[in-house]
């Protein structure tokens, strides 16, 4: 069964939320159906918005997910949603080309140049071997010699890769490293950056929407928090507005905590917009955690 590449921008023109769904026109329906039940890779193009003059996109593959369902858009004719599970971002974004290597062979013309016509397709089918190569480039744990040796047995490689990226310890490690790196090991609520004697950061990688409630392992669903801030956030004593103002349950928070939170009472967020908390997950926390404890 072929896999697929789904292209999505930082500020998409379509109703994309890559952690949960991908929105596309009928043009790509057959290609998407071909990958149904299998894994896909997300690609971020050079343009960050629908405007032709926009730029700033990473031009890289940045995450994988499992395509589980396709449904017609009830509000827009000839458009569809592809729903995903098991979303996971790579340790590092993988450029579509590194040196002379094109991860998608069809993106390279016989003369060695880039096939811009093929590149312009927002949904593209790819071979299993291409998918494996992208994942091995994107995840440090899949770049070891043992995985390269397994390339001789494609069926076993497929089984082992899927098994690995589905395991909770692997996903926790990838999520934690990505979130702490994005926030420079600094608590987003207090601004504290503590590194212990062993060189390990004390900050936690917290899910905004919990994994138990189908919250994805995405930086946009993550916050770097100190132990105390993490405890308060999970128990609905603190939440966050869409403009990153801190919402504090003042009657339930010890007075001394107000002395260590960010002076402007706003969340410190990463410089890269694609790493900042998404309003969808913040809304969930406000409504299902913060207000539920009011």
The verdict on 205 and 142 lying in the same domain is: no
Q: What is the pLDDT of residue 233?
A: 96
The verdict on 162 and 204 lying in the same domain is: no
Q: What is the pLDDT of residue 47?
A: 82
Contact criterion met (CB below 8 Å) for 81 and 73: yes
Q: What is the pLDDT of residue 294?
A: 63
Given pLDDT bands bounded at 50, 70 and 90, which one contains residue 53? confident
The verdict on 285 and 143 lying in the same domain is: no
Q: 125 CB contacts (<8 Å, ≥6 apart)?
A: 2, 3, 4, 5, 31, 34, 35
Q: What is the pLDDT of residue 51?
A: 76
The domain of 263 spans: 170-293
Q: 159 CB contacts (<8 Å, ≥6 apart)?
A: none
Q: 286 CB contacts (<8 Å, ≥6 apart)?
A: 239, 240, 241, 247
The pLDDT of 262-283, averaged and rounded, is 94
Residue 48 has pLDDT above 80, yes or no: no
Given pLDDT bands bounded at 50, 70 and 90, which one contains residue 250? confident
Number of separate domains in the chain: 2
Residue at a domain's end among 166, 188, 208: 166
The pLDDT of 200-219, averaged and rounded, is 93
Region of 83 (left: φ > 0; alpha: ψ -120 to 50; beta: rest) is beta
Q: What is the pLDDT of residue 146?
A: 57
DSSP 8-state class, residue 242: T
In whole angstroms, what is the distance from residue 242 CA to residue 283 CA?
Answer: 8
With b for 16 or more beta-carbon neighbours within 10 A and e for fewer, the 91-107 pattern comes to bebbebeeeeebbbeeb
Top pLDDT among 291 and 284 is at 284
The verdict on 215 and 127 lying in the same domain is: no
The verdict on 38 and 54 lying in the same domain is: yes
The pLDDT of 250-276, averaged and rounded, is 89
The verdict on 261 and 148 lying in the same domain is: no
Beta bridge pairs of residue 65 = 40
Residue at a domain's end among 166, 196, 222: 166
Given pLDDT bands bounded at 50, 70 and 90, which one contains residue 275? very high
167: exposed, middle or buried (Cβ count in 10 Å: 0-12, 13-18, 19+) = exposed
The verdict on 145 and 243 lying in the same domain is: no
Q: What is the pLDDT of residue 194?
A: 76
Residue 292 has pLDDT above 80, yes or no: no
In whole angstroms, what is the distance from residue 25 CA to residue 7 CA?
Answer: 13
The verdict on 157 and 248 lying in the same domain is: no
Residues of the chain above pLDDT 70, percent: 94
Q: 178 CB contacts (<8 Å, ≥6 apart)?
A: 89, 91, 205, 219, 222
> How confident is the model over 129-181, as pLDDT tens digits?
899 999 999 998 886 655 554 556 667 777 788 888 999 999 999 999 999 99
Contact criterion met (CB below 8 Å) for 53 and 17: no
Residues of the chain above pLDDT 90, percent: 71
Tokens for 189, please give them: 């609520």
Q: What is the pLDDT of residue 278?
A: 96
In whole angstroms, what is the distance from residue 96 CA to residue 104 CA?
Answer: 7
**Helix and strand counts by DSSP (H, E) for the chain:** 8, 12
Mean pLDDT of the chain: 90
Q: What is the pLDDT of residue 274?
A: 87
Q: Where are the alpha helices (DSSP H) in 110-167?
A: 116-119, 128-138, 145-150, 154-166
The pLDDT of 15-38, averaged and rounded, is 97
Residue 267 has pLDDT above 70, yes or no: yes
> How confident is the model over 103-112, as pLDDT tens digits?
999 999 999 8
In whole angstroms, what is the distance from residue 20 CA to residue 26 CA?
Answer: 19
- The whole-model pTM stands at 0.89
Residue at a domain's end among 166, 189, 214: 166
The verdict on 202 and 96 lying in the same domain is: no
The verdict on 25 and 151 lying in the same domain is: yes
Top pLDDT among 28 and 198 is at 28
Residue 92 has pLDDT above 80, yes or no: yes
The enclosing domain of 43 has a CATH number of 3.10.590
The verdict on 138 and 176 lying in the same domain is: no
The verdict on 66 and 45 lying in the same domain is: yes
């Amino acid at each position: 069964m072929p896999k697929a590449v789904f292209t999505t921008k930082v500020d998409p023109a379509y109703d994309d939320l890559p952690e949960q769904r991908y929105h596309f026109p009928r043009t790509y329906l057959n290609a998407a159906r071909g990958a149904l039940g299998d894994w896909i890779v997300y690609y971020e193009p050079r343009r960050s918005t629908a405007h032709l003059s926009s730029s700033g996109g990473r031009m890289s593959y940045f995450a994988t997910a499992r395509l589980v369902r396709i449904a017609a858009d009830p509000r827009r004719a000839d458009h569809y949603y592809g729903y995903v599970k098991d979303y996971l971002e790579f340790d590092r974004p993988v450029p579509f080309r590194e040196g002379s290597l094109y991860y998608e062979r069809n993106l390279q013309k016989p003369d060695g140049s880039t096939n811009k016509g093929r590149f312009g397709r927002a949904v593209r089918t790819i071979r299993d071997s291409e998918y494996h190569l992208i994942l091995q480039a994107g995840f440090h744990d899949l770049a070891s010699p043992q995985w390269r040796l397994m390339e001789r047995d494609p069926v076993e490689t497929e089984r082992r890769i899927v098994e690995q990226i589905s395991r909770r310890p692997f996903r926790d490690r990838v999520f934690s490293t990505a979130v702490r790196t994005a926030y420079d090991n600094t608590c987003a609520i207090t601004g504290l950056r503590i590194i212990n004697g062993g060189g390990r950061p004390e900050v936690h990688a917290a899910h905004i929407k919990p994994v138990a409630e189908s919250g994805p392992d995405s930086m946009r669903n993550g916050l770097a928090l100190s132990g105390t801030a993490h405890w308060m956030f999970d128990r609905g004593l603190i939440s966050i507005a869409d403009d990153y103002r801190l919402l504090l349950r003042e009657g339930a928070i010890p007075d001394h905590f107000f002395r260590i939170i960010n002076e402007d009472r706003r969340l410190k967020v990463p410089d890269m917009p694609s790493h900042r908390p998404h309003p969808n997950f913040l809304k969930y926390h406000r409504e299902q955690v913060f207000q539920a404890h009011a």
